[in-house]
Amino acid sequence: MTDPILSTPVTLGGHTLRNRIVLPPLTRQRSAQPGDIATDLMAQYYRQRATAGFMVSEGTQIEPRGQGYAWTPGIYTPEQVEGWRKVTDAVHSEGGVIFAQLWHVGRVSHHGLQPEGAAPVAPSALQPQQVKAFIETAPGAGELVQPPVPRALRTEEVKDLVLLYAEAARNAMAAGFDGVEIHSANGYLVNQFISAHANTRDDEYGGSVHNRLRFLREIVAAVSEVVGPQRLGVRFSPLFSGTDQDRVYIGLVEEDPHYTYLEAIKVLEAAGIAYVSIAEADWDNAPELPDTFRRDVRDTFSGRIIYAGRYTAERGARLVEAGLADLIGFGRPFIANPDLPQRLFNGWPLNPLRVEGMYGGSEQGYTDYPAYL
């Protein structure tokens, strides 16, 4: 790396981060069963990557209905809180900073993952297309399945979910996390409320963009009361065109994504939260975010801005140098390179990513990638 800016410290909320490299939330499906509890192996995985300036945990479901994939961890039981404590202790022992990503998949689930085999819940009874849930079919084995038609949440149930987000944030702090991130991306529950393609409600949570953002606005307010706004971030995935290669975003490409997501970011600015994280499309030949959108995000939001998606160190450094980003997330490279910051800063070669072991399994493809030194 020729530009050292990614190696420089930066503040985030009340934290001083040692560099601008982010381990973004990455689903790995290694929780202990039964109970969806974080494990010693997960603690080792996060410890290995704790030289990142900032870390966000994999998505952790806020309640049983929030699960869309077998073996993902939760943060709604005392046992889950204790499991996550192993992770945060491991990260802090290495001087790292880690937030918990609070996750509810909404309609991207299946009867096999829902309490008593019920239908998943969602803003509206609209079946997701070209997106799959993942259920366990035998111990350690599973398959991708088509989600069924979900059940539309009643208005009072939406308000109850806001309280569940607040309770999950309280649990995250009890588990030792430094803050929390609300998962409002990738076609999951909060994103479903924002999207006119997934939300056809006629109550206060549907219709206009202002109403479709109400769920996010209420969650941000409720979680801020628990953790403080400077310990809170939100992740979005604004998509400016659609493609069959993207199994999650299909159907959630807004008619005017520029307007929709700037309005969402205005919600965050008004709340005074620490950061907004933008997950860009990351498949081959994916469209890049328009420069006008990046500039408007910077002009609208006064907190820290994180981008992730197909970034090299050089491309990320250019975005930071231009003043459009403060931190850069690296997903797949961080899976394969536990010492990724040192490799980027020193120009060392990267380990190749192995597809086997990406989701579920043991230490293979998880904690067995070697460091350079």
Domain limits, the chain? 4-346
Confidence of residue 227 (pLDDT cuts 50, 70, 90): very high
Residue 297 in this model has a pLDDT that exceeds 90: yes
Count of residues in the chain: 373
CA angle 98/100/103 to nearest 5° reads: 155
Q: Give residue for tokens 């999951």.
A: 188
What pLDDT does 248 receive?
53
10-12 vs 21-23, strand pairing mode: unpaired
127 CB neighbour count, 10 Å cutoff: 14
Per-residue confidence at 245, pLDDT binned at 50, 70, 90?
very low
Say yes or no to pLDDT of 363 above 50: yes
pLDDT at 239 over 90: no
Over 80: is that where the pLDDT of 246 sits? no
Of residues 251 and 62, more confidence is placed in: 62
Domain 4-346 fold is TIM Barrel (3.20.20)
**Whole-angstrom Cα distance, residue 109 to residue 111?**
7
If you search the block for the tokens 């900073």, which residue do you land on? 97
pLDDT tens profile 206-222: 999 999 999 999 999 99
CB crowding 240-269: b at 16 or more within 10 Å, else e: beeeeebebbbbbbbeebbebbbbbbebbe
Residue 49: pLDDT above 60? yes
| Residue 188 is among the residues annotated as catalytic for this protein | yes
Beta carbons within 10 angstroms of residue 41's beta carbon: 16
Q: Residue 328's closest CA among 315, 339, 346?
A: 315
Is residue 123 within 8 Å of 192, Cβ to Cβ?
Answer: yes
pLDDT of residue 223 exceeding 70: yes
CA angle 232, 237, 242 (to 5 degrees): 170
Q: Are 145 and 112 in contact (CB under 8 A)?
A: yes
Distance CA 259, CA 281 (A): 18
The stretch 231-250 carries a mean pLDDT of 74
DSSP strands (E only) in the chain? 10-12, 15-17, 21-23, 54-61, 98-103, 121-122, 133-138, 141-145, 151-152, 179-183, 232-236, 275-279, 304-308, 327-329
- Which residue type sits at 205? Y
Nearest to 29 by CA among 68, 56, 87: 68
Question: 3-class DSSP state for residue 231?
Answer: helix
Q: How does residue 252 score in pLDDT terms, banded at 50, 70 and 90? A: confident
Of all residues in the chain, the percent with pLDDT exceeding 90 is: 91
Amino acid, res. 108: V
Is the overall model pTM greater than 0.85, yes or no?
Answer: yes
What are the tens digits of pLDDT across the range 324-361? 999 999 999 999 999 999 999 999 999 999 999 999 99
Is the Cβ–Cβ distance between 60 and 74 less than 8 Å?
Answer: yes
Q: Which listed residue (188, 205, 261, 275) is catalytic?
A: 188
What was the pLDDT predicted at 243? 53
SS3 string, 96-117, reads CCEEEEEECCCCCCCHHHCHHH
What is the per-residue pLDDT for 283?
A: 72
SS3 call for 195: coil
In percent, how much of the chain has pLDDT > 70? Answer: 96
Strands 98-103 and 232-236, by their bridges, are: unpaired
Q: With 0-12 CB in 10 A as exposed, 13-18 as middle and 19+ as buried, what is 355?
A: exposed
